[in-house]
Structure 1
């Protein structure tokens, strides 16, 4: 939606986007980073048209409507089923759930084994988190792309930075800023202890930044094919390359990610 607005600038896109942002926030706290980046770029493009009291009110109402799934918790909380998470008999229970207080607001871990020694400074703690999380993300990316991900990602960044079309350039910057903010903020807040179990939990949160990385990689492949072949050959080879990449990914990652027979999950 932000990409569509950056391209066309239609008001209907901002209205739908405002609702979707609210709806997305009912699923995952990390969506806040995407929402912030989207709002930043949309208002930068057309702040004069959007910063009007009536329009701002409409956007806020649509955003609030997107978060209405939380209202269901009050209804369901009157007779909570066994094993349900949280107590929703009152508004305080909904707020506790909204802020994820049981697990820690804007962090992943709240109790048990200490993440770092008690005499560790804040900077040392953040440095440790950055090194661990960036390293894990990088190693996972390289493993999943057979070592080609870094080269293709850098190539995609170069193509985006040299893009002459202003709309395409803005969409590229949107992806890069979002990726940078996500990695910086999430890596600062991801305070899980070191262990194989917690490493698997951590990797669940790499889905969003990986989407950006693979979009940039796809741009690198598409642009490379387009610049080195004729338009007719390009139309033939691009879907073939995409198909090969998808098949390779499935063959490599599906067997170890397949939970079909995992009755615990």
Structure 2
């Protein structure tokens, strides 16, 4: 469906995914080889690789550890779920890219030392936050946490003026410009296959808010697993996808953040942890599908990649934190690299043997 929408410049299923559609259409025109489907799949693979690279960047900038960055990027990229949805024409690899990008920009903002730097990064970040919502709406929980944190930081630095708020709001709204594609496509009416009619404001909002599916649900008129069951399934699923040691290292990162002398910029660890918890709880509350059924489990598990990306980053930070106390000289780098390579190799072996 997404390939057809991109090829014919039609509208995909709600909420329309205009950014992915336009990027896929660009890939179809630019890549000089392979079928149309192959080109879109290749685009998704490149987006997935970029997402993993941004996880590496985030961990490295926070901890200075190359090994921690490799661990975060490796365990996430080579998890069965991430690999599968990064080699198929779907919107999840682009969402993973935005998750990594927003975390990387957050680190960059935290490192800024002047008002001019913070102003520039916050405006770029606001634009990226808006654009991320042109793809998968579940990222709104991460966007909300980051926006509140940035506004608080600007307020604390006495840099949050009405003019600054207007600029940030304008940048955020500018990120939504790809949604103009939906009414444009409907008005041109050239696609043989398209979803809905967005020529009217009501039709546009119906599609944007996913009213056919249920705005805050995965499906309409479905009764699924309860919140507790969903969260327990997610934790067990995360263990399968990322491994128990990675989960433990993520917890170590949180514990290290409690001791400010053990980790640089502990506030970001708590921000990422808050993003993870708020998203996981909200999604478990609203994902109204019975995950004891394999079909529905396959639908739900795709949205857990957004949580896995944050856990992978926390694990990379945890590795850097725990080994910073265990050695010096050449011992520390060797232990870091040995641990990172062992965990990533184990990930590859477990999922692709």
TM-score of the superposed pair, with normalisation by structure 1: 0.82
Q: Counterpart in 1 of 2:97? A: none
Contact 2:256-2:263 at 8 Å conserved across structures:
no
Among 41, 44, 53, the alignment partner of 2:152 is 44
Report the 3-state secondary structure (helix = DSSP H, G, I; strand = E; otherwise coil) of the residue aligned with 2:180: helix
Q: Are 1:250 and 2:348 counterparts?
A: yes
Q: Are 1:63 and 2:172 counterparts?
A: yes
Deviations 1:191-243 (A, max 9, x none): 11341111111111111111111211112212222221214333344344333
Contact 2:257-2:266 at 8 Å conserved across structures:
yes
Q: Counterpart in 2 of 1:110? A: 220
Deviations 1:82-129 (A, max 9, x none): 333332223322212211112110210103xx416xxxxxxxxxxx52
Residue 50 of structure 1: how far off its partner (Å): 4.7
Contact 2:247-2:311 at 8 Å conserved across structures:
no
Among 144, 156, 168, the alignment partner of 2:265 is 168
**Distance in structure 1 (CA, Å) of the matches to 2:211 and 2:324:** 50
Contact 2:128-2:175 at 8 Å conserved across structures:
yes
Q: Are 1:226 and 2:324 counterparts?
A: yes
Written as runs of structure 1 = structure 2, the 5 A alignment for 1:70-85 is 70-78=179-187, 79=189, 81-85=191-195
Among 130, 144, 147, the alignment partner of 2:241 is 144
**Distance in structure 2 (CA, Å) of the matches to 1:80 and 1:103:** 26
Residue 165 of structure 1: how far off its partner (Å): 7.5
Instruction: Give the total of aligned pairs.
Output: 242
Q: Counterpart in 2 of 1:132? A: 229
**Distance in structure 1 (CA, Å) of the matches to 2:181 and 2:169:** 20
Written as runs of structure 1 = structure 2, the 5 A alignment for 1:18-57 is 18-47=126-155, 49-57=158-166
Contact 2:127-2:174 at 8 Å conserved across structures:
yes
Q: Structure 1 residues 139 and 80, CA, compared in 2 at 3 Å: closer, same or farther?
A: farther
Among 245, 252, 277, the alignment partner of 1:180 is 277
Q: Structure 1 residues 229 and 86, CA, compared in 2 at 3 Å: closer, same or farther?
A: farther
**Distance in structure 1 (CA, Å) of the matches to 2:141 and 2:160:** 21
Q: Are 1:238 and 2:333 counterparts?
A: no
> Quick one: higher RCO (CA 8 Å, sep 6+), 1 or 2?
2
**Distance in structure 1 (CA, Å) of the matches to 2:159 and 2:139:** 22
Report the 3-state secondary structure (helix = DSSP H, G, I; strand = E; otherwise coil) of the residue aligned with 1:87: coil
**Distance in structure 2 (CA, Å) of the matches to 1:227 and 1:254:** 34
Q: Are 1:5 and 2:109 counterparts?
A: yes
Report the 3-state secondary structure (helix = DSSP H, G, I; strand = E; otherwise coil) of the residue aligned with 1:77: helix
Q: Counterpart in 1 of 2:52? A: none
Report the 3-state secondary structure (helix = DSSP H, G, I; strand = E; otherwise coil) of the residue aligned with 2:325: helix
**Distance in structure 2 (CA, Å) of the matches to 1:250 and 1:83:** 39
Contact 2:128-2:172 at 8 Å conserved across structures:
yes
Contact 2:262-2:321 at 8 Å conserved across structures:
no
**Distance in structure 1 (CA, Å) of the matches to 2:273 and 2:179:** 31
Q: Are 1:90 and 2:208 counterparts?
A: no
